[in-house]
Structure 1
Amino acid sequence: MNFKKLLLLIAVILPLCAFTAHKYYFSVTQADYDAKSQSLKIVTRVFYDDLQKVFQERYDKSIRVDASYDQQKLDGYIKRYFEQKFIVTVNGEERSIHYLGHKDEVDYVVCFIEVENIKNLKTVSIENTLLMDLFPDQKNVVHLHAGTTKKSFLLTRENDKAVLKLSE
């Protein structure tokens, strides 16, 4: 192979390698207030490989975030992690989240959470620091919906809280 062909090959392959090595870190959360059941229903989607990496760093190197791993144990890790990194405040009071379970999708894990017994909702705040301790570029998108009020937030390490105030 002559030098010009080698140089051309490197010029073409190197940018492709750099592009494929780049990874975006994000999660998406949808939180909907259900006035009938007086609860905040929350669905969070997190890439399974990112969640697995953070679990292996924090808890146990053998954790697998897939169907081959003990699902009851995996739910325990997800619940524990969410309780530490996902804080919901309603009308100025921090509330317990109830982890309901998860399901696997192609590239991500869908986690189901609920906050119950919410009467007379005026404000809801979600502090979402999922994966931010391991991935500095992590972005967490939060969509909040209550009644006719809808708002979306892009949360980062520097700004990790979404607040929705309902009009009275």
Structure 2
Amino acid sequence: MKKYLHIISILTVFLMMGFATQDFYSSMTKVDYVEGSKTLKFTTKLNTSHISDAIKINPNTAQFEAEVKKYVNNNIDVYINGAAKTLTFTGSQVKGETVWVYFESGGIGDVSTIRIKNTILLGTFPKQFNLVNIAYKGNQKTMNFQRGKEVNEVSF
């Protein structure tokens, strides 16, 4: 019995070490509809080192914000009721291990469907998982994106 307990404890240590070395790759985006201005406001939270690896720019440099803007514009597409919408970058902030990216799309009337293509960091990190939460007129919807499932659509 002691031998089995010893083997189980060794296997448990190896299993725990395997989890400790796994890096977790994810982004979270919150989308809020502002009815007064008819605008969808996007707030995306990224890991600083992950986005820095993807765009190959040090986050402490002046070019970082411009490259993040270009990267987001190239990796997120939004369609409202089947029509493509333009995203306007409104800023970003680096706070330690987190980069906050802000962008919006204006001129949004009534929404019946939102389709999003989100490939943020999917090309750099194969196990990347992107989560998008949408708040529209009191309704909440959630979308998940990963390699092989880069497009998602919700109805309101």
Contact 1:144 1:150 in 2 (8 A): yes
Give TM-score scaled by structure 1 length.
0.80
Contact 1:144 1:164 in 2 (8 A): no
Distance 2:81 2:65 in 1: 29
Gaps of 5+ in 2: 1-9
Distance 2:152 2:36 in 1: 23
Contact 1:141 1:152 in 2 (8 A): yes
Distance 1:102 1:141 in 2: 19
What letter corresponds to residue 58 of structure 2 in structure 1?
Answer: R
SS in 2 for 1:75: helix
* 1:11-47 Cα distance to aligned partner (Å, 9 max, x none): 5976565333210110000001111110000000010
Are positions 1:101 and 2:95 aligned together? no
Are positions 1:26 and 2:26 aligned together? yes
Gaps of 5+ in 1: 1-10, 57-62
Give TM-score scaled by structure 2 length.
0.86
RMSD: 1.9
Note the C-alpha offset of 1:69. 1.2
- Point out the more displaced range, 97-106 or 128-137: 97-106
- How do residues 28-43 of structure 1 correspond to structure 2 at under 5 angstroms? 28-43=28-43
Are positions 1:123 and 2:113 aligned together? yes
Distance 2:68 2:88 in 1: 11
CA pair 13-69 structure 1, distance change in 2 beyond 3 A: farther
Residue 4 of structure 2: aligned partner: none
Are positions 1:69 and 2:75 aligned together? no
Residue 5 of structure 2: aligned partner: none
Residue 3 of structure 1: aligned partner: none
Identity %: 22
Contact 1:142 1:162 in 2 (8 A): no
- State the number of aligned residues: 147
Note the C-alpha offset of 1:102. 0.6
